[in-house]
Each structure stands twice: as C-alpha cells, then as structure tokens.
C-alpha cells in the first residue's frame, strides 16, 4: 500500500484548510458575540439613561415651576384674551415702543457700562446730529453687548457642530 498517494495528500490539505477556516470562523463568531453583548449592555444603559432624562425633563418642565421661573426671571406675562387678535390689521404699528408691563426688577449692569468706543459720536457733518433720545429703563435698549456675547458663543460652538 502506497502511503503518500496524491489523494491522501490532497485530503490532508483539505482537512487542514477546513480546520483552519472553522477555527478562524469560530473565533470571529466569539469576538462578534462578545461585541454584541457589550453593545447590548450599552443600549440597555442608554435606554435607561433616556428614561431618566425624559423623566427629568418633564420634571423640570412642570407648569408650576416654569410659571414661577418666568415670573421671577423674565419680562413676560401670560397671554390674555386681549392679547389675542383675530385680525392682523388690529395689531399696533410696529414702531410703537412696547413698554414692558412689569418694570425690570434689576437694572442691568451692562446697560450702565457701555464702553465709549461703542457710543456713536455724531459728527458735525452728519445729518443725524439730533439730540439723542433718553434711554428708557428697559433692557431691550442695549442690544449691542448681549448680541456680541451671543455671537461669541455661537463662534465657540461653530467648530463643534460644523462638521456635521
């Protein structure tokens, strides 16, 4: 009996190859399963986090809390039937200054400290050399400084969100 026949050699090679493939596939499956397990745990954790955050969001948005916050922090009052107009023509003219219903409880420190560079000095030649109107005690008369802050904030945010 010839031992090293070509068919024996062929069969051995085939079995070695299939054995290796089986082994590597089994390894891959094991790896994938451990990955899957990890991802599953993560998903479960994220789901749990979402549940907690949703509950927290609704807790923080309780109407009574919002109402108290608006009352103490904002210059807003609830909409009244008088403030709802069925017809836009009934609306007051846009240039009529809207005086806040409540006086601001604090005088904004920004309003006092406008740097001199921001104040536009009227020149003799310019036609706007009119007496400056007295600044009313209302925060919307000092738009420059808050706007600058907001733009700065936007700039800081831009690289983070810009890649999307």
The residues binding other proteins (CB under 8 A) are: 36, 40, 48, 51-52, 54-56, 58-59, 61-64, 67, 78-86
Tokens of 12: 């051995």
DSSP states of 95-130: TS----SSPPSS--HHHH---GGGS-PPPSSSTT--
User: 139 in helix, strand or coil?
Assistant: helix
Residue among 53 and 135 whose Cβ is closer to other proteins: 53
Residue among 82 and 124 whose Cβ is closer to other proteins: 82
Residue among 45 and 137 whose Cβ is closer to other proteins: 45
As measured in angstroms, the least distance from the Cβ of 144 to other proteins is 33
CA distance 139 to 103: 10
């Amino acid at each position: 009996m010839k031992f090293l026949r070509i068919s024996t050699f062929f069969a051995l090679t085939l079995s070695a190859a299939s054995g290796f493939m089986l082994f590597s596939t089994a390894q891959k499956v094991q790896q994938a399963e451990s990955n899957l397990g990890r991802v599953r745990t993560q998903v479960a954790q994220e789901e749990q986090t979402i549940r907690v955050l949703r509950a927290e969001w609704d807790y923080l948005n309780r109407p009574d809390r919002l109402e108290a916050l608006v009352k103490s922090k904002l210059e807003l009052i609830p909409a009244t039937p008088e403030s709802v107009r069925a017809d836009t023509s009934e609306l007051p003219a846009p240039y009529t200054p809207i005086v806040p219903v409540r006086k601001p409880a604090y005088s904004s420190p920004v309003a006092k400290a406008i740097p001199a560079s921001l104040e536009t000095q009227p020149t003799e030649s310019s036609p706007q050399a009119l007496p400056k109107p007295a600044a009313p005690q209302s925060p919307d008369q000092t738009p420059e400084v808050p706007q600058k802050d907001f733009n700065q904030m936007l700039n800081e945010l831009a690289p983070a969100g810009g890649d999307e």
